[in-house]
Amino acid sequence: MDDPNTLTPVEREAQRAMLSALIDEAKRHGIDLMGIDHPAVAVRAAVGQWLIAARGFKRIPTAN
């Protein structure tokens, strides 16, 4: 179950938010993650894998 295509809707939304933040931060440092080159694809895949790995961790209560 490590296929990024199996992300839940909430995980997909989190992935979009994280990628947007990463793209913005990288751009500030002169790195373009918007393209389809290997580094950009690798970053997107890594975020998906990280979200899948996070499924196994215990949720913690938040202040909300």
For residue range 10-52, what is the model confidence (pLDDT) as tens digits?
888 988 898 888 888 888 998 887 766 777 788 888 888 888 8
Q: Which residue has the tokens 């979200």?
A: 51
Q: Which residue has the tokens 């990288």?
A: 26
pLDDT beyond 80 at 63: no
Secondary structure percentages of the chain, helix, strand, coil, to 5: 60, 0, 40
Average pLDDT rounded to a whole number, residues 49-59: 82
Domain limits, the chain = 11-52
**58: its two tokens:** 């215990």
Average pLDDT rounded to a whole number, residues 1-11: 74
The reported pLDDT for the residue numbered 1 is: 46
Q: How confident is the model at residue 64 (pLDDT cuts 50, 70, 90)?
A: low
Provide the b/e sequence for 23-60 (b: ≥16 CB within 10 Å): beebeeeeeebeeeeeebeebbeebbeebbeeeeeeee
Q: How confident is the model at residue 4 (pLDDT cuts 50, 70, 90)?
A: low
